[in-house]
């Protein structure tokens, strides 16, 4: 089974700044992947590498089994919506669809036209006169009407209001359900990801902190609260992700596939936001990445 994105030691440097370091991933097909991390973590860099808009300065990357943007056929297999959901202000909605048809050999004009009608957009309206949510939906229409096997979205809903975000996500999930495409979606809005994603990647400090199936990650991460103790005293197999202490109490987030059986602690499950924040906080505190196995 060919991974939709496969990287090995992938890195990208801008002058002295390392935007992405030693990134090793294998994303299985058929997933809706949430890529999350703080600003400057390397999310956009990773996605632009996957689209072939950037070249790596170290390591390797393959998308759908081939080098990114290695030819017209490969480009046709990937849809991309950039962070600013780019459209051409002086072109009408209909002009955008005509441009999409000319540039993409697999263009599905019926799909594009039906989506514009469903969204209630006026084909003659200039893109520059559309609302932010309407421009985002137009950009998504252009990406999915090329019938990609992989759809890559770089924080497309960051500037939208909650209603527009929900409508965008609904449209996205309809597309993935109907066309069985893989999706990689970056966002810092964890609540949006929690509704739609079944696979998670956390990037922080320019490195992958953790990656895996959402259900498996939530099942194996726990918050332990009890009397103050040294995290090093936890049993083998309890990987400490984050710890905080007061004079009398310790709160520790651990990863363990085995049941937690410690009568000295209360044990709670994490939600997705708790899990993401634990890895981001730990990365910020130590300035480096813990060595983790990536779940495939």
Residues 159 and 261 in one domain: no
Q: 292: number of CA atoms within 13 Å, CB side?
A: 28
Please count the other Cβ atoms lying within 10 Å of the Cβ belonging to residue 213.
15
pLDDT at 292: 43
85 is in which domain, residue-wise? Answer: 5-204
Specify the pLDDT at position 238.
Answer: 85
Q: Is 70 exceeded by the pLDDT of residue 163?
A: yes
Number of domains in the chain: 2
- In this predicted structure, the answer to whether residue 289 has a pLDDT above a threshold of 70 is no
Between 43-52, 64-73, 148-157, 189-198, the lowest mean confidence (pLDDT) is in: 189-198
The predicted-structure confidence for 164-175, as pLDDT tens digits, reads as follows 888 888 888 888
pLDDT digits (tens, 9 = 90+) for 236-273: 778 889 888 888 998 999 999 888 877 888 989 999 99
Q: Are residues 280 and 154 in the same domain?
A: no
- pLDDT in the model for residue 234: 78
CB 36 within 8 Å of CB 276:
yes
The confidence band for 56, taking pLDDT boundaries of 50, 70 and 90, is: very high
Decide if 137 contacts 72 (C-beta within 8 A): no
Q: What is the pLDDT of residues 93-105, one digit of tens each?
A: 999 999 999 999 9
The pLDDT of residue 287 is 57
So what's the pLDDT on residue 2? 85
Distance of alpha carbon 264 from alpha carbon 131, whole angstroms: 55
Kindly state whether residue 215 falls inside one of the protein's structural domains: no
Residues in the chain, total: 296
Residue 294 domain-assigned (yes or no): no
pLDDT at 23: 94
pLDDT in tens, 14-40: 998 999 999 999 999 999 999 999 888
The domain spanning residue 116 has which CATH number?
3.40.50.300
> Above 70 in pLDDT, residue 196?
yes
Q: Among 177, 204, 231, which residue terminates a domain?
A: 204
- Checking if the pLDDT of 184 tops 90, the result is yes
Specify the higher pLDDT residue, 193 or 218. Answer: 218
The least confident of 25-29, 143-147, 154-158 is 154-158
Long-range contacts, 227-231 (Cβ 8 Å, 24+):
227/264, 229/264
Kindly state whether residue 212 falls inside one of the protein's structural domains.
no
Buried-exposed string 226-251: b where 16+ CB fall within 10 A, e elsewhere = beebeeeebeeebbbbbbeeeeeebb
Q: Are residues 100 and 190 in the same domain?
A: yes
* Residue 85 pLDDT exceeds 80: no
Q: Which residue has the higher pLDDT, 4 or 169?
A: 4
Q: CA torsion sign, 22 to 33 to 239 to 216?
A: negative
Asked if 176 and 109 sit in the same domain, the reply is yes
- Residue 134, domain member (yes or no): yes
Asked whether residue 114 falls in the same domain as residue 227, the answer is no
Q: What percent of the chain has pLDDT over 90?
A: 61
pTM of the model: 0.88
29 and 138 both lie in a single domain: yes
Last residue of a domain, one of 204, 234, 251: 204
């Amino acid at each position: 089974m060919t991974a939709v994105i496969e990287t090995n030691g992938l890195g990208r440097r801008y002058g002295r700044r390392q935007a992405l370091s030693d990134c090793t991933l294998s994303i299985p097909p058929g997933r809706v992947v949430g890529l999350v991390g703080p600003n400057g973590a390397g999310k956009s860099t990773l996605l632009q590498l996957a689209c072939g808009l950037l070249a790596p300065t170290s390591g390797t990357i393959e998308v759908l089994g081939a080098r990114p943007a290695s030819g017209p056929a490969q480009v046709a297999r990937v849809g991309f919506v950039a962070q600013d959901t780019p459209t051409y202000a002086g072109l009408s909605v209909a002009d955008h669809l005509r441009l999409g048809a000319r540039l993409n050999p697999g263009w599905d004009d019926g799909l594009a036209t039906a989506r514009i009608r469903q969204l209630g957009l006026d084909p003659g309206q200039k893109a520059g006169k559309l609302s932010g949510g309407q421009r985002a939906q137009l950009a998504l229409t252009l990406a999915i009407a090329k019938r990609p096997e992989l759809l890559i979205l770089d924080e497309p809903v960051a500037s939208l209001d909650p209603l527009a975000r929900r409508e965008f996500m609904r449209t996205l999930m309809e597309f993935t359900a109907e066309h069985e495409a893989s999706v990689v979606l970056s966002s810092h809005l964890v609540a949006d990801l929690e509704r739609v994603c079944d696979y998670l990647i956390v990037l922080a400090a320019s490195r992958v902190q953790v990656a895996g199936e959402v259900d498996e990650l939530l099942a194996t991460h726990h918050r332990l609260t009890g009397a103050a103790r040294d995290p090093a005293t936890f049993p083998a197999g309890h990987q400490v992700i984050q710890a905080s202490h007061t004079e009398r109490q310790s709160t520790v987030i651990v990863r363990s596939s085995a049941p937690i059986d410690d009568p000295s602690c209360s044990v709670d499950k994490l939600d997705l936001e708790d899990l993401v924040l634990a890895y981001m906080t730990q990365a910020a505190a130590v300035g480096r990445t813990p060595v983790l196995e990536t779940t495939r």
